[in-house]
């Protein structure tokens, strides 16, 4: 019986150590991902999500093709330009 109790204690201690080492690792990975995403603005930063939702509702489509300077919708198997980026 003492062997079982000591084994269970050993397993609990090892799990505690692994958890104590794993949590900071996971947190640091997520922190780095957020930091890198914020440092690298995407090419679609000029086009907001709310503007995209407005365009999709207005044109009755579920998808948009967003490039660096234009926004397109799909109509009759063709991409039709619906918005152009304003020059800076």
Q: What are the pLDDT digits (tens) for 41-55?
A: 665 577 788 888 888
pTM above 0.85, yes or no: no
- Which pLDDT belongs to residue 43? 57
> Is 84 within 8 Å of 70 (Cβ atoms)?
yes
φ, ψ at 87 (rounded to 5°): -65, 145
Spatial CB neighbours of 63, under 8 Å, sequence gap ≥ 6 = 56, 73, 74
Examine the domain organization and report whether 67 and 78 are in the same domain: yes
- Which pLDDT belongs to residue 52? 84
Examine the domain organization and report whether 46 and 88 are in the same domain: yes
Examine the domain organization and report whether 19 and 56 are in the same domain: no
Examine the domain organization and report whether 20 and 58 are in the same domain: no
pLDDT band at 23 (very low <50, low <70, confident <90, very high): confident
Examine the domain organization and report whether 88 and 46 are in the same domain: yes
3-class SS at 10? helix
Examine the domain organization and report whether 4 and 36 are in the same domain: yes
Examine the domain organization and report whether 73 and 61 are in the same domain: yes
**Number of independent structural domains in the chain:** 2
Q: What are the pLDDT digits (tens) for 49-87?
A: 888 888 888 888 777 888 888 899 888 888 999 888 887
3-class SS at 84? strand
Examine the domain organization and report whether 50 and 85 are in the same domain: yes
Residue 52: give the domain boundaries: 42-88
């Amino acid at each position: 019986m003492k062997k079982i109790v000591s084994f269970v204690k050993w397993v609990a201690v090892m799990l505690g150590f692994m958890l104590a080492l794993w949590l900071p690792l996971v947190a640091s990975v997520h922190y780095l991902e957020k930091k890198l995403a914020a440092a690298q603005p995407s090419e679609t930063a000029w086009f907001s999500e709310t503007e995209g939702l407005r365009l999709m509702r207005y044109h009755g489509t579920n998808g948009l093709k967003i490039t660096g300077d234009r926004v397109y919708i799909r109509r009759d198997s063709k991409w039709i330009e619906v918005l152009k980026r304003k020059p800076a």
